[in-house]
Structure 1
Amino acid sequence: MRARVIISRVLIYGTLILWAFISLFPIYWTVTTSFKTAVNVTQGHLIPWIDFQPDWRGWRSLGLSPDVIGNTSTAREEFLKRFGNSVLVSLSASTLAIVIGSLAAYGLSRFDYKWGPWRNKDISFFFLSQLILPPVVLAMPLLVLYKELALLDTRVGLILLYTLMVLPIVIWIMRDQFDTIPIELEQAALVDGCTTWGAFFRVVLPIALPGMVAAFILSVVLCWNEYFFAALLTSTDAKTLPVMVASQTGSQGINWWSMAALSTAAIAPLVMIGIFLERYIVKGLTAGSVK
């Protein structure tokens, strides 16, 4: 029996270690490639100081290496501008989606709607079904619409589009979050003199905060990594980091070291979010799984 338990644990931990290696290897490859030269990239060297000697070439191309960080750099200004665009668009779109999505989810959780043959579950599924539509289908209509509204290559245009993109996910997460909150709490608040809005802000929202944080973080990640619409609808002013990463090509091919350095700088904020806010993400996404 003891041998069986030991073998079972070895298999479980071995599987977890293998899965962790598979999941983290792309990040490791990206970080190490940012410190390689062209020869090391083409020869597939993987281990620093053993297979290759680290070099700041990739970071120097962005003006972020220690030897040039104090100097004026056009590349660094370009990177900071794109980084700022990504931060502004992602945070603004996620905040707007949380505000609209939370109100919509609360309505679907607490009130019964009837629109023809549709009920609450049908409306909720309709929101989620918008994610099934391939983005390329919307390419031409959005180009025409944004040209007419003068929203091409603008941060406002991206914010509005990204809000619509993540809104179904926010509504779905927050609806499950509100479903776990007993309606008796709101009824007690109403008896104590609160208005409907007062009960929502004073009772419901504080309890639903972990779910809101999880939905917000997930929205930020999705907006931060979005490439298709950013490449389609922007050219110079509103271009974001994913578009800048994909543009690292030269006359001799892809500048892997520059692309890897850019990718490392782009994923660093998301890694920090995942490390420091993991408990909020897990708690929010698992809300409603056990009743």
Structure 2
Amino acid sequence: MPAGERARWWLGRTAIYTALIVWTVVCLFPIYWTLTTSFKAAPNVMRGDLVPWLDYAIDWRGWRSIGLSPDTIFQTSTVRDEFMKRFMNSLVVSLGASALAIVIGSLAAYGLTRFRYRWLWLRNADISFFFLSQMILPPVVLALPFLVLYRELDLRDTLAGLVMLYTLMVLPIVIWIMRDQFDAIPVELEEAALVDGLSTWGAFFAIVLPIALPGMVAAFVLSMILCWNEYFFAALLASTNSSTLPVMVASQTGSQGISWWSMAALSTAAILPLIVVAIALERYIIKGMTAGAVK
């Protein structure tokens, strides 16, 4: 390789990796700031100290406020009990809504890729766009209708009500992800399975579903993240029995201002499960998000 071409190659690689490193720092800095803030005292928060042990000494005040510091973890704590209640509510709602959305969304996406629908002027592409268009609608527009509907159906402050609402919220994303997954699977595989004696459902479960599994995992994780972080409807429709973690995080305000250390500790505890899930399912997420990109 000539010297000039080698220099351009190294220059290009250096520029690419520099940009990737900068973008990684930009993406991870909010997590780092939240984590370090949970170990700060009030003066350190106000001064904007960033490096623990160098700019400031570790203070467990934020974790102590939610009963998760080393000196309170084994003691009775009403705040920790409330945190665990909100945590379990978020877990049940996120898992339930994501699982339900995967089942319904996968079937809908499979139908849109394998069958041709016609109703008035609507075709498959129009139906798919209709699902996507639901994401454009601002949540505040739906506040009053859902508030009235849930009051009439006695679904306010219930986990079942949040599960159904969150399922509707993430369903368009699941349908669009799974539509690309199923579209990338050759129809000939199913035709061969039908020739071998399998039914349509048998071909779906035996052939299509295993191939589309990475996409389903990616859609499930994305749906769970969206449900886990949702605040507006949780604050609107939940109060005592079904309130979730985002509402608890946003409530860390008082007459003295915002308790940044408590909010940071709650936020850190709230995002840890998502980080663990993302790391554990990383290879499925990557396969799912890239499947269908190249045919």
Q: Same fold (TM over 0.5)?
A: yes
- The match for 1:172 is 176
- The match for 1:115 is 119
The alpha-carbon deviation at position 274 of structure 1 amounts to 2.1
Question: Is 1:230 the equivalent of 2:225?
Answer: no
Distance in 2, matches of 1:181 and 1:14, equals: 37
- The match for 2:131 is 127
Which amino acid letter does the alignment assign opposite residue 247 of structure 1? S
- Mapping of 1:128-207 within 5 angstroms? 128-207=132-211
| Secondary structure in structure 2 of the residue aligned to 1:132 | coil
Distance in 1, matches of 2:24 and 2:171, equals: 31
The alpha-carbon deviation at position 118 of structure 1 amounts to 1.0
Residue-pair matches, total: 291
Question: Is 1:74 the equivalent of 2:60?
Answer: no
Distance in 2, matches of 1:154 and 1:285, equals: 33
Greater alpha carbon shift after TM alignment, 208-217 vs 270-279: 270-279
| Secondary structure in structure 1 of the residue aligned to 2:135 | helix
Where do 5+ consecutive residues of structure 1 fail to align?
A: none
| Secondary structure in structure 1 of the residue aligned to 2:126 | helix
The alpha-carbon deviation at position 8 of structure 1 amounts to 2.5
Distance in 2, matches of 1:139 and 1:45, equals: 40
The alpha-carbon deviation at position 7 of structure 1 amounts to 2.7
- Deviating 4+ runs (over 3 angstroms): none
Q: TM-score, normalization: structure 2?
A: 0.97
- The match for 2:42 is 38
The alpha-carbon deviation at position 180 of structure 1 amounts to 1.1
Q: TM-score, normalization: structure 1?
A: 0.98
| Secondary structure in structure 2 of the residue aligned to 1:197 | helix
Query: 1:21-74: CA deviations, max 9, x gaps?
Result: 111111110000000011110111111011100111100001001111111000
| Secondary structure in structure 2 of the residue aligned to 1:204 | helix
Q: Aligned Cα RMSD in Å?
A: 1.0
Which amino acid letter does the alignment assign opposite residue 241 of structure 1? L
Which amino acid letter does the alignment assign opposite residue 143 of structure 1? L
Where do 5+ consecutive residues of structure 2 fail to align?
A: none
Distance in 2, matches of 1:241 and 1:71, equals: 22
The alpha-carbon deviation at position 19 of structure 1 amounts to 1.1
| Secondary structure in structure 2 of the residue aligned to 1:131 | coil
Distance in 2, matches of 1:16 and 1:289, equals: 21
